[in-house]
Amino acid sequence: MRRYFYLTESNHWVGPYSFAGIIAEIVRTKIHLHTPVWSKHLSDGESEHPQKCIKRRKAAHEVLPRWLFSANIRETLRIWKKSIGKRISKDDGMAKILSKPLETGTLLNNAPVKYVLPSLTRISDFKALNKFEITLFYFTRESQVESSKHTAYTKHTDGQGFSFNIIMESIPDVGGVLFKESYGLHRSLYLQNKASTIKTGENSVKNFSTRVPYQPQQLKGNFSNLKTLTASEYNACYQRVIVPIRDTEFVGPAGSVLSTGRLICDKEAFNSHDSLIGPRFRTGISFLEMQIEGYSYQIYDLNESFMVIDSQQIMDHEVFRRHSLAIRKALGVVSGKYYADEAYYLTAQDQDFKSIEGPWFVFENETVITSRRVIDTQVFDRHKEDVKAGLSAGDRLPMSIQVFEGLCNKIVKEDEILRTVELVISAMGNSDPVQQGAMYSVALETLTGLLSKINEDKLNPVQDKEVFKRLKAELEGVVAGFSSEISVEGIQILNNKIRALNSPTNRDKLVKTFALYGINLTKEEIKTINERNTYLHGNSPLDASFAYELEQISLKLHNLILKLLLKYVGYSGHVVNLAALEFTKDETRIREYAEKVQQFSSNGLAEIKKIVEQKDFKKLSVAKEKWLKEVEQHKLPPIIEII
């Protein structure tokens, strides 16, 4: 027999009820159209209680016959017209989760257990809440402060956060009726029901709209910040952030950084994974353990559906948020995928996270999903022949946890590194290659500006400070000798130039900074560095119609920045040449390249054959040298580089 539960306004699950019992609750008006309802057969098919299930809670009108809700007959008829004959079916992917996975020997012996189910069910219940009372404070046309209470409905949409609809039964006497500020929506607001009080952040209302004059008036929009009020105020607790993932080619934390070990999850479905040979295997979850500014963290993903970061000690929320963002941004620039959109912050008094406080929902910048992954073991395995002679065992490995810690700490402590990383992420997320190039150019200037300050003495044309001091004094003396013939302003300008005489040019500073970190630039890379100046002056090195060429410049700038950034934090290993890899995927350009190489090879060999027949050995030497130079010029750059 099917059993049903429903979520009360006090945020408690009540049940189980038979179908007849649930109808009785509707008759008693305990259940309304939008009341969250749960049943085993409508969810994952295995959980016995909603607190053990993380699947989306369905509204009552999605589960039960709509004619039951007589008080909402108009809404019932509207929904019937829109979706007659709709049937509830199990999730297509559940067969995989329900199939029994194969054990993997001793792999998970002594693996620590992670309790994520209480957190995920808390988030699911938070998403399901939909009816609140809200108090608005605003100024009337006569500049009088007015306050009024209204019913507010919220709705969660994956990847878009929470939309709201505030019902104002009477039209307020406000000016600027189309602006959210006129209704006080730019202030912090409180959403209240029997279960909880939720605070919105200042200026957290986005996409505001309303229609006037209509009665009742409806205020619509989205909340970007919803904070469940808690006794701890999210401080002096263990901290956790959960980021939902919507990426068909997900790159997890252990895909870019060498794994610390494996975990077991309290939700068994997360411990099993598909294999290329067919069966699922129970291999647990790979995780990273690292430190930032003395605080320890564990990072892992749950079956490519969520990314989770846990603090390993009690700490305050603002520090945790700053550190967890640094971790996510560091993973973003290395993997080419920055997962953002929705983030749910939770706290607990116990390290196991069995008893949860929160959540605090934040809708962040958009997720950025690209193929700009510079450390990729699979690409390395396919193209390692490029550098076979110089390979070591460590060159194939992902980034070490120590280097990753270094990168995260630099992001937290050095503003220039934070800005560089944010510019790279913004550039990756921009579809216009010209704008990408502009942002990459600023990022390159920012990074090299920091590193040139650190290595100032090594970059100066005159590295001996005493020698330059004497040279500067002599030059200033020469200028002083012309003081009667040059204006005071002119003398000052010349002396300023003399004081800056020992500074390298911007181009030299860029090129030499790479050399200081052991990166030998090719002629093509130096050419790319020179082109960044065009972007910085608001121009493009090519017309917008040259989309492929502009994309190549963008990829080369991305690689240059990442190589220098990685070397700065101590990385040694492989880097994928993204521009070269992209070239190999373009069949038309590969064919054109092959035809061009074949043509110049045929011409060169024909010329050499003719010279040999003439027995002009002097001319043969010149022709051979010319031909070898052309071969070098036509050689494709390696896809894998070792730095």
3-state secondary structure string across 256-283: HECCCEEEEECCHHHHEECCCCCCCEEC
Task: Tell me the two tokens of residue 236.
Answer: 């002096």
Provide the token pair at 165. Answer: 């609809």
The CA distance from 61 to 56, in Å, is 14
Do 546 and 605 have their domain in common?
Answer: no
End position of a domain, from candidates 209, 227, 245 = 227
Let me know whether 475 and 531 are in one domain: yes
14 and 162, same domain (yes or no)? no
Residue 189 identity: L
Task: Give me the number of domains the chain comprises.
Answer: 4
C-alpha to C-alpha distances, 506 to 276, 406, 450, 460, 510, nearest whole angstrom: 51, 27, 13, 12, 6
Question: Same structural domain for residues 69 and 133?
Answer: no
Q: What is the pLDDT of residue 447?
A: 96
- 226 three-class SS: strand
- Least Cα distance to 245 among 235, 255, 231, 236 occurs for 255
Buried (b) or exposed (e) across 162-191, using 16+ Cβ within 10 A? bbbebebeeebebeeeeebebbbbbbebeb
Q: Is residue 610 part of a domain?
A: yes
Q: Does any domain span residue 248?
A: no
pLDDT at 388: 66
Same domain, 420 and 529: yes
Which residues on adjacent β-strands are paired with residue 136?
Answer: 148
Q: What is the pLDDT of residue 85?
A: 42
On whether residue 505 sits in a domain, the answer given is yes
Question: Mind giving me the DSSP string for 24-47?
Answer: HHHHTTSS-TT-EEEEGGGTTSS-
Asked whether residue 436 falls in the same domain as residue 528, the answer is yes
One domain, residues 432 and 529: yes
550/595 same-domain check: no
Q: How many C-beta atoms surround the C-beta of residue 452 within 10 A? A: 21
Residue 111 forms part of a structural domain: no
- Same domain as 605, residue 554: no
Let me know how many helices (H) and strands (E) the chain has, helices first: 20, 26
Q: Is residue 529 part of a domain?
A: yes
Is residue 344 in some structural domain? no
Looking at 572, 595, 622, the residue that finishes a domain is 572
Q: Which of 217, 242, 233, 26 is nearest to 115 (CA)?
A: 242
Low-confidence ranges of the chain (pLDDT < 50): 73-74, 76-77, 80, 84-98
Q: Is residue 430 domain-shared with residue 553, that is, in the same domain?
A: yes
Task: Answer yes or no: do 67 and 36 share one domain.
Answer: yes
601 belongs to a structural domain: yes
pTM for the model stands at: 0.81
Q: Classify residue 353: in a domain, yes or no.
A: no
Final residue of a structural domain among 181, 200, 227: 227
What domain range includes position 49?
4-80
419 and 565 fall within a common domain: yes
